[in-house]
A and B are shown apart, each in its own frame.
Chain A
């Protein structure tokens, strides 16, 4: 039950890139297509689940002062293995994602979860949390990728959806499109929470992406 709670919070309530604003670099960079987003997401699922597992296992051994260095080393080793695995089995995807595969190691999401959750909680909860966060991250990336691919090319996952008179908006798959699409999706999610709260008769929630939340995203760990 507790495990399900930790797992499911990553899927909506604390959806990593949209709610926590963690791990924005890959979110913006690799989502030119839904497939790339999905591939990146899976790599992150692998790394974050295992890193949560390992960090949680060794959390009592690590001295407090060097914990960040330890977390980084754990994450870096896992990232190297992902890199090698991708080179072996998914080389085209590895080429597509380029520099962002090694950069998973500095993805705030992984360190953030290690620091905020895995370093303080027992193994099974940490794994559930990591897995939930990873899958939430994958879903968000795939969704963002699908939106950008749909408007940018008319295809989703390589299947033609919009055809005929539709003129692809190339803007969407270029760099600026990433920022604008993510901004609008965030705004949409905020709007949804406001409407929901209104329907329940509660006061509108604080915009989750203003104020200190926005920067706490990266700054939660020193």
Chain B
């Protein structure tokens, strides 16, 4: 039951993009086409699910015993950056089809604050390892959902007559606002 609640909460109620404002840059940058947004979303889920348990282990077995809590940020980002590069190389060699699908998004993910954000969030929420992995997966799903929805809307927006100053990102932002508003409707669902 707890897992189910976390799933619903991370996807709808506390969507990392629409309610917690993480990962805005790819949210606006990679939401122009549905295909691209699917690739980006998939890559984010992939990296998040690997990075979160790894950082969790580092926190638990390196930082806390040595009393180095203040090095959390720098350690995490180092681990994530190396991990992303490692995953990229690994995929290129071993799973070329997956690399072709996700490849170009991987380098961008290093600077996607959603990945680091979720890694830090699970620490602040004091989840255990299993829950952390699950939470990161659910958050990734939430990111994917928001991204694909916005991409679908923006594809429609492309062919509408908008005032010149509203075209492009301003319109996308307003759309994101309206989406976020509709996601707020889930708020009372889980107390």
Chain A residues engaging chain B, CB cutoff 8 angstroms: 21-22, 24-29, 68-69, 72-73, 76-77, 79-80, 83-84, 99, 102-103, 105-108, 111, 171, 174-180, 182-184, 186-188, 190-191, 194, 204, 207, 209-211, 214-215, 217-219, 221-222
Q: Sort A-B residue pairs by CB-CB distance and give the 4 closest, nearest first.
A: A183-B173, A210-B168, A179-B177, A215-B29
User: B residues within 8 A CB of A84?
Assistant: 70
Q: Which residue of B lies closest to A26 (CB)?
A: B21
Whole-angstrom CA separation of A183 from B150 in the bound complex: 14
Q: Is the CB of B32 within 8 A of A215?
A: yes
* Besides the known contacts A102-B72, A187-B166, 11 further A-B residue pairs in the complex with CB atoms under 8 A apart: A22-B25, A99-B121, A106-B116, A179-B177, A183-B171, A184-B170, A194-B164, A194-B165, A214-B32, A217-B25, A217-B28
Q: Is the CB of B174 within 8 A of A184?
A: yes
Q: Is the CB of A80 within 8 A of B170?
A: no
Given contacts A103-B116, A106-B111, A111-B111, whether A24 and B28 have CB atoms under 8 Å apart is: yes
Whole-angstrom CA separation of A89 from B23 in the bound complex: 29
CB distance from A183 to the nearest CB of B (A): 3
User: A residues within 8 A CB of B20?
Assistant: 29
Q: Which of A24, A76, A80 contacts B24 (CB 8 A)?
A: A24
Q: Is the CB of A77 within 8 A of B170?
A: no
Q: Is the CB of B164 within 8 A of A176?
A: no
* Stretch from B73-81, B89-97, B130-138 contacting the other chain: B73-81
Main secondary structure of the interface of A (DSSP, over half): helix
Q: Is the CB of A28 within 8 A of B21?
A: yes
Supply 29 A–B pairs (Cβ within 8 Å), ascending by A. A24-B28, A25-B24, A25-B113, A29-B20, A73-B77, A77-B74, A79-B73, A80-B73, A99-B121, A102-B72, A102-B116, A103-B120, A106-B77, A106-B110, A106-B113, A175-B19, A175-B180, A176-B177, A176-B180, A176-B184, A177-B177, A178-B21, A182-B173, A183-B170, A184-B170, A187-B165, A191-B163, A210-B169, A217-B25
Q: Is the CB of B110 within 8 A of A72?
A: yes
Q: Which residue of B lies closest to A27 (CB)?
A: B24
Whole-angstrom CA separation of A108 from B116 in the bound complex: 13
Whole-angstrom CA separation of A164 from B95 in the bound complex: 65
- Does residue B172 face the partner (Cβ distance < 8 Å to A)? yes
Q: Is the CB of A108 within 8 A of B28?
A: no
User: A residues within 8 A CB of B19?
Assistant: 175
CB distance from B106 to the nearest CB of A (A): 10
Given contacts A29-B21, A99-B117, A102-B120, whether A72 and B170 have CB atoms under 8 Å apart is: no
Given contacts A175-B19, A183-B170, whether A99 and B24 have CB atoms under 8 Å apart is: no
Whole-angstrom CA separation of A110 from B128 in the bound complex: 33
Whole-angstrom CA separation of A204 from B163 in the bound complex: 13
Q: Is the CB of B169 within 8 A of A105?
A: no
Whole-angstrom CA separation of A98 from B173 in the bound complex: 24
Whole-angstrom CA separation of A221 from B111 in the bound complex: 9
- Does residue B30 face the partner (Cβ distance < 8 Å to A)? yes
Q: Is the CB of A80 within 8 A of B172?
A: no
- Does residue B141 face the partner (Cβ distance < 8 Å to A)? no
- Does residue B178 face the partner (Cβ distance < 8 Å to A)? yes
Q: Is the CB of A191 within 8 A of B108?
A: no
CB distance from B184 to the nearest CB of A (A): 7
- Does residue B49 face the partner (Cβ distance < 8 Å to A)? no
- Does residue B167 face the partner (Cβ distance < 8 Å to A)? yes
